[in-house]
Amino acid sequence: MISVAIDGPAGAGKSSIAKAVAKELNYIYIDTGALYRAIGLYAVEQAVTTTNREAVAALLSEIDVTLQHIGGHQHVFLNGRDVSERIRKPVVTVAASHVSAHPEVRTFLLSLQRKLAEENNVIMDGRDIGTVILPNADVKIYLTASAKERARRRYKELFDRGEDVHFDTVLKEIEERDYNDSHREIAPLKQADDAVLVDTTEDDLETAIQKVKAVILSKIG
Ligand code: DC
């Protein structure tokens, strides 16, 4: 099986790019952030403080998270319930960032991610895929863009969805998430030594897709 790891900060375009490239190459696209989001959602629903490591760890035995691909789209199931839409709510975005810093949560999700990569040709996107989850991935890409450009993209996405947001708030949230994700003690966001850096600040989506595809094909082609 072939595995492609794509890591990088929030809003770098990982999911749109990985999804498109996976479709072209006929690989399964796996959005690992959705797994952390499902746990964040459960903690919010149980009214547990998401920064409280012990309290979140105590919930894990009650949680079953699975992924299914339906009509080419990834669906996330939390204890049998399809939560694919619910996990995109802003409150869950913050909760996911908090719970993902707890070592118990990362261990809980590790084997599920490795199993998916063992059984399928995958393009997996996340923060620690190339560094921790799949250190032997065939291709590793670190996808980034400036914080301002990432905030601009995220703002447009939220605006188009009809959400009432301010650009400055989106930028501040992106910067806070960058800080949380790259400063946590366990599996922080960082470029793997053997990852290819792709900066999409100046690129439109199609250009970025072709850049990433070219990197993959140059490694496995
Ligand atoms: O990619 P995303 O925005 O859906 O990720 C949600 C949160 O989960 C984000 O704050 C970082 C965390 N995450 C992680 O720690 N490791 C991953 N492989 C993917 C996401």
In short, whether 10's Cβ falls inside 6 Å of ligand 1 is: yes
Query: How many CA within 13 A on the CB side of residue 155?
Result: 16
* pTM of the full structure: 0.92
In short, whether 113's Cβ falls inside 6 Å of ligand 1 is: no
Its domain, for residue 183, covers 3-220
Q: Which tens digit of pLDDT belongs to each residue from 205-220? A: 999 999 999 999 999 9
In short, whether 131's Cβ falls inside 6 Å of ligand 1 is: no
CATH number at residue 205: 3.40.50.300
Q: Which tens digit of pLDDT belongs to each residue from 153-180? A: 999 988 998 988 999 999 999 999 899 8
Total domains in the chain come to: 1
CA distances to 23, 31, 126 from 211, in Å: 15, 20, 19
Distance 213 CA to ligand 1 centre (A): 23
Distance 33 CA to ligand 1 centre (A): 4
Tokens 């290819």 -> residue: 196
Report the candidate in 160, 201, 174 with the shortest Cα–Cα distance to residue 94: 174
Distance 98 CA to ligand 1 centre (A): 10
Taking CA atoms only, the protein residue closest to ligand 1 atom 5 is: 33
Tokens 């118990």 -> residue: 104
Distance 134 CA to ligand 1 centre (A): 16
Q: Which tens digit of pLDDT belongs to each residue from 44-62? A: 999 999 999 999 999 999 9
In short, whether 154's Cβ falls inside 6 Å of ligand 1 is: no
